[in-house]
Structure 1
Amino acid sequence: MSLLDTTAHIEPLTASSRFRTDLYDCLPTRADALFELTDALLCADGAVRSLVELTLTPEHRRGHGALYDALNHGRIDTDRLRTALADLPLPRACDGRIVLAVDVSPWLRSDAPTSPERLFCHVYGRAKSTSQLIPGWPYSFVAALEPGRTSWTAILDAVRLGPADDAAAVTADQLRTVVGRLIAAGHWCDGDPDILIVMDAGYDVTRLAFILSDLPVEVLGRIRCDRVMLLPAPPRAPGTNGRPPKHGPVLALADPTTWPAPQHTTTTPTTRYGLAEAGSRDRLHPRLTHRACWIDHESDLPVIEGTLIRLQVDHLPGDRDPQPVRLWSSATGLAAAEVDRRWQSFLRRFDLEHTFRLFKQTLG
């Protein structure tokens, strides 16, 4: 091994060793048994299908009785563990920006009728061309996305959603605490690019942008194809009387006749999707009403402006006909290169699906 290769491996090994020490310190009771159980879980040869099989791995030096005793009577300091995860080196995008992804994945428990606080989780793939509602526990995950040819993600937080929880409010609180820990760990300082948070269509992206507006973050999410957005109000003509308009013309995503000319149009060749064409329109906002999550808003409803991005690709894997993807970003005044980085960052959100598959199919 050359000296250059040896130097390149020093820093990752140092960070890994320090995190193992921090992880052990997060186990106040039954620390040795839980720590060996974690090693056995990660080093098992193949998928984990039962707990007792982990006692047969070389990393677990105790009997199966110690395993169940650790699970029944052991304890994990979750706050300290979250701080340790935030202290780890974080991947960054090509412009030095931290990109976080948030998503919900259920742990299905249809065979546990006595388990408390189960919800009906909306899942796909268990039957052909249909979706189902299966009892289980939904968890909200926040992970840092990596650039380049990889699908690994750095999980930073996980919170279980209860029956009485507002998913948007829980997600906002979760993101606020995660961003606070990243700032405390020195991953973001004044003058750095805002942290980009990407999410899929299941989230109210404009509401999250309003709740998190006091943080150095930018929210980017996919919106439904039947949404109606509003253009900014036109300039007020001199000598006009009456109340100035709050909204501009309507832009219906399903009606191309209402679309104004995009501010930026870019084309990018890709190896997986062919030619990707993106068009952006600046300062679009939804029309808010005193309903649902805004029913208790006392003052005037805000105008939450952002950038609307329409992405169209030539083809999808498997010769499927692609439908355009509509994205909304809480940032305004984006340049053409920044628009490309936004939709490319959104596509990296699907790396979380590989993480969920690792958790469920490999780690059990």
Structure 2
Amino acid sequence: MVVGGTQAAKGEFPWMVRLSMGCGGSMLTEQLVLTAAHCVSRTGNNTSITATYGVADLQDTSRTTRTSTYVHRSPTYDTATGGDWAIIKLASPITGASLLPIATTNAYNTGVFTVAGWGATRENGSQSRYLLKAQVDYIDDTTCKNADPYYADLIPSAELCAGNLAAGGVDTCQGDSGGPMFRRDGSGAWVQVGIVSHGNGCARPDNPGVYTEVSTFAAAIKQAAADLGGTPNPPTGKVFENTADVAIPDAGAAVYSNVTVSGVSGNAPSALAVGVAIKHSWSGDVVIDLVAPDGSTYRLKNSSSSSTPDVNTTYTVNASSEVANGTWRLKVQDVYREDTGYIDSWKLTF
């Protein structure tokens, strides 16, 4: 891949995947590969795709391969909404695979991005045996649309442009489709902001590459991943706990208790254990949610007519689409009058 690129070292971008139909991809979970919708034909059972993982040299005998079982193709692809993304489910997990988190806000849709892949090194050239990498600059939507008539139909809310606009010479190319465009986030970790989608040739001046704007479709991608049930990282047994008491006001605003998770690779497990201990004289008054680091909310308990005091239980949440590390919050609200209580403690087990 990558016109004007240099060879990537083995393990430099460990979540990269080469797909047998001639596209790239990235590991979303241990069993799910994120790629482009235009690389696949439809949603449904599919056992024809082979994914190669774990190498920079495709002939490296240490490579890991898996066959596909199912494809989910974005239902909005080829519509005015855009959405050139798809998820491929593998026949079995790649245990311990490195994962590339997706951007959930547009905060990282700027600056300098990295692209990598095994596609052509020149327009209409042959595919590369070795993983190549390059850096491309963000190009704003207006500049991109005006660069060449080819870009007149750019969908600003669904697509990002990047490249070396004036000089060309650096770009993704045929065979790189579906691969990630990524950059460092605020804490220095890699985050995927784009998916290689299309362009007018390869590395031509005034003809940037066009990438799926991942943050726009993050919620849909996460929901599809959860529905597909791709196995994430196996449980580590690591426990993160907050034992500080937090008062719950009577029929008042929600309160929060935070737990910061660190040192856990990849995504949260599909059976994330959330242990909750709340002292309350009327447990039915209490509504409980788990809030992931990106703001996604998972309902643990609804209000009810139960007069039983206290909540002492462990809930199980499929959080496999969430990055493990970061600040998780327990959100608790008393929704009826007369009874009060407090969060005694809570914990997450990864």
Query: Where is the strand percentage greater, Structure 1 or Structure 2?
Result: 2
Relative to the length of structure 1, the TM-score reads 0.23
Structure (1/2) with the larger helix percentage: 1
Greater gyration radius? 1
Q: Which has the higher contact order (CA 8 A, sep 6+)?
A: 2
Q: What TM-score do you get using the length of structure 2 for normalisation?
A: 0.24
